[in-house]
């Protein structure tokens, strides 16, 4: 056993015991802080998911601590995200940004610090997010006999299949994912495609449940301000991290087949650093070669409050990723009443109903993407119908209160099964 680091920390002064039925939940998200600015290479859907899940669980009366790595020296030990939710910055590794694919060497220290924290303030249940959080949490949870649920958000087998030599994940990733999948009490998958992948990895289907990601249906709505339109008849919006697998190159190539249409690419570095970004330079080159450079605009990373108006300004929202473990943007677009054209991969197979809420097309196929978009641009009534159906679909399936209730049910199933599994009374 690896000894804990230093003396045990004291809990907050005056911390009262929890009421019956209230859980102290530890969410572990080693690289994706709920406090991060979105749109960077390692800041996207997982950050949104963890922050929103924590808040929705707190709305159900639970107390939530999110454990994430300290990546700046000035960050305080603890930050109150909102009532019932606290962010704990774990001082594992250097207090500076480190690409997530280089964080594995610090996970042993991260796990030891979690063990120290949980010995002093023991949670009722641990829910780790992403494979490295699972590595750290599995060891600490085993030491203390804590129930552990895990959400992968992305799988190394899928990334390696699609990126091949461009995959920068540590060589140990897939083996660690298998260990976490077999060692935790429950895998909380986000879509059916992920379940099939986990079963192929050897994780028993009986150990896997599906709870999708959610969307804030009060913030993402059809009603509200829209970003100003441009000089062109139609606008397409692609939103998300600016990395090659998100398929912005496919959108740019498709634009050549869509006259009178502009493309807004939202995400990436701040606007004043776009010229230095390799992916922006690559995409601008593709746009020049396709003759559409004057119809492609990069906004850079934007504040969260700017996202709904940008989505509302779109005639169609594009989600053409090569692969997508889940994909929150289709939900945000549908919640704003906008039709979505997405690649038929991963979680998008579950969220986008073709033809009800949009269209699904093969990944990496600009011609198919352009054809689907052109059909919607030519038919305003179809766009309106898709948008209304998307809003209904989100309200019935993907609101955060519903997602939090399903997640809580998974926790309770594990907690209820624990005495039988351990043989204790």
- pLDDT at residue 419, rounded to an integer: 54
- pLDDT at residue 17, rounded to an integer: 53
Q: Which residues contact 306 (CB under 8 A, 6 or more apart)?
A: 227
Closest residue by Cα to residue 265 from 257, 118, 253:
253
Closest residue by Cα to residue 47 from 81, 72, 17:
81
What is the SS3 string spanning 26-41? EEECCCCCCCCCCCCC
Closest residue by Cα to residue 347 from 207, 200, 164, 151:
151
Q: At what angle are helices 107-120 and 131-144 packed, to 10 degrees?
A: 40
pTM, to two decimals: 0.88
Helix boundaries (H) for 336-379? 348-351, 366-377
- pLDDT at residue 420, rounded to an integer: 40
Closest residue by Cα to residue 4 from 161, 139, 187:
139
Residue range(s) of every CATH 3.40.50.2000 domain in the chain:
24-214+400-422, 234-397
Rounded CA-CA distance 276/287 in Å is 17
What is the residue-level pLDDT of the chain in tens, covering all 425 positions? 333 333 333 333 334 556 668 999 999 999 988 876 544 444 567 888 999 999 999 999 999 999 999 999 999 999 999 999 999 999 999 999 999 999 999 999 999 999 999 999 999 999 999 999 999 999 999 999 999 999 999 999 999 998 888 888 999 999 999 999 999 999 999 999 999 999 999 999 999 999 999 999 999 999 999 999 999 999 999 999 899 999 999 999 999 999 999 999 999 999 999 999 999 999 999 999 999 999 999 999 998 899 999 999 999 999 999 999 999 999 999 999 999 999 999 999 999 999 999 999 999 999 999 999 999 999 999 999 999 999 999 999 999 999 999 999 999 999 998 654 433 33
Rounded CA-CA distance 236/263 in Å is 5
Rounded CA-CA distance 192/349 in Å is 9
Q: Which fold has domain 234-397?
A: Rossmann fold (3.40.50)
- pLDDT at residue 13, rounded to an integer: 31
Rounded CA-CA distance 362/254 in Å is 13
- pLDDT at residue 33, rounded to an integer: 85
Q: What is the b/e burial string over 398-421, where b = at least 16 CB atoms within 10 angstroms of the residue's CB?
A: bbbebbbeebbebbeebeeeeeee
* Strands, E assignment, 144-276: 148-151, 186-189, 208-210, 234-239, 261-266
- pLDDT at residue 344, rounded to an integer: 98
CA atoms within 13 A on the CB side of 380: 2
- What proportions of the chain, in percent to the nearest 5, are helix, strand and coil? 45, 15, 40
Query: Residue 187's beta-bridge partner residues?
Result: 150, 208
Query: Residue 148's beta-bridge partner residues?
Result: 126
Rounded CA-CA distance 244/168 in Å is 13
In terms of phi and psi (left: phi > 0; alpha: psi -120 to 50; beta: otherwise), the region of 361 is: beta
CATH homologous superfamily for the domain 24-214+400-422: Glycogen Phosphorylase B; (3.40.50.2000)
Rounded CA-CA distance 389/383 in Å is 10
Q: What is the b/e burial string over 84-108, where b = at least 16 CB atoms within 10 angstroms of the residue's CB?
A: bbbbbbbbbbeeeebebeebbebbe
Terminal-to-terminal C-alpha distance of the chain:
27
Helix boundaries (H) for 5-67? 45-59
Calculate the CA 175 to chain-centre distance: 22
User: Which phi and psi (to 5°) does residue 187 adopt?
Assistant: -95, 125
Closest residue by Cα to residue 337 from 313, 354, 362:
313
Structure-token pair, residue 19: 């009421």
Q: If DSSP codes are grouped into helix, strand and coil, which group holds residue 293?
A: helix
Sheet harboring 24-28: ordered strands across? 78-82, 85-90, 63-69, 24-28, 125-129, 148-151, 186-189, 208-210
Rounded CA-CA distance 281/274 in Å is 8
């Amino acid at each position: 056993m690896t000894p804990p680091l230093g003396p045990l920390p004291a809990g907050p002064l005056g911390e009262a015991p929890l009421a019956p039925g209230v859980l102290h939940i530890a969410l572990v998200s080693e690289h994706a802080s709920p406090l991060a600015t979105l749109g960077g290479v390692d800041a996207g859907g997982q950050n949104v998911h963890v922050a929103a899940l924590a808040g929705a669980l707190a709305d159900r009366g639970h107390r939530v601590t999110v454990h994430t790595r300290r990546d700046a020296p000035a960050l305080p030990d603890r930050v109150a995200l909102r009532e019932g939710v606290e962010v704990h910055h774990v001082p594992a590794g250097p207090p500076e940004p480190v690409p997530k694919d280089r964080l594995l060497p610090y996970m042993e220290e991260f796990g030891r610090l979690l063990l120290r924290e949980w010995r002093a303030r023991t949670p009722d249940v641990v829910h780790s997010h992403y494979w490295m959080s699972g590595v750290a949490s599995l060891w600490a949870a085993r030491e203390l006999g804590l129930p552990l649920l895990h959400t992968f958000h992305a799988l190394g087998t899928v990334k390696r299949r699609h990126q091949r030599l461009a995959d920068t994940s540590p060589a140990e990733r897939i083996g660690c994912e298998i260990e976490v999948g077999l060692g935790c009490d429950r895998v909380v998958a986000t879509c059916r495609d992920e379940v099939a992948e986990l079963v192929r990895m050897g994780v028993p289907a009986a150990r896997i449940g599906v709870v999708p990601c959610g969307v804030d249906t009060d913030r993402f709505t059809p009603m509200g301000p829209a970003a100003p339109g441009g000089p062109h008849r139609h606008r397409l919006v692609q939103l998300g991290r600016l990395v090659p697998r998100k398929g912005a190159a496919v959108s740019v190539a498709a634009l050549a087949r869509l006259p009178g249409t502009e493309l807004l690419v939202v995400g990436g570095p701040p606007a004043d650093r776009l010229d230095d970004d390799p992916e922006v330079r690559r995409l601008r080159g593709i746009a020049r070669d396709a003759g559409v450079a004057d119809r492609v605009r990069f906004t850079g990373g934007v504040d969260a409050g700017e996202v709904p108006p940008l989505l509302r300004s779109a005639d169609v929202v594009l989600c053409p990723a090569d692969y997508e473990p889940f994909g929150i943007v289709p939900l945000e677009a549908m919640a704003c009443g906008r039709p979505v054209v997405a690649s038929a991969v991963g979680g998008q197979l579950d969220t986008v109903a073709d033809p009800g809420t949009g269209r699904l097309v093969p990944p990496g196929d600009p011609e198919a993407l352009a054809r689907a978009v052109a059909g919607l641009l030519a038919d305003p009534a179809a766009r309106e119908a898709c948008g209304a159906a998307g809003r209904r679909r989100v309200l019935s399936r993907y609101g955060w209160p519903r997602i939090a209730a399903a997640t809580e049910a998974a926790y309770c199933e594990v907690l209820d099964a624990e005495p039988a599994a351990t043989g204790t009374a």
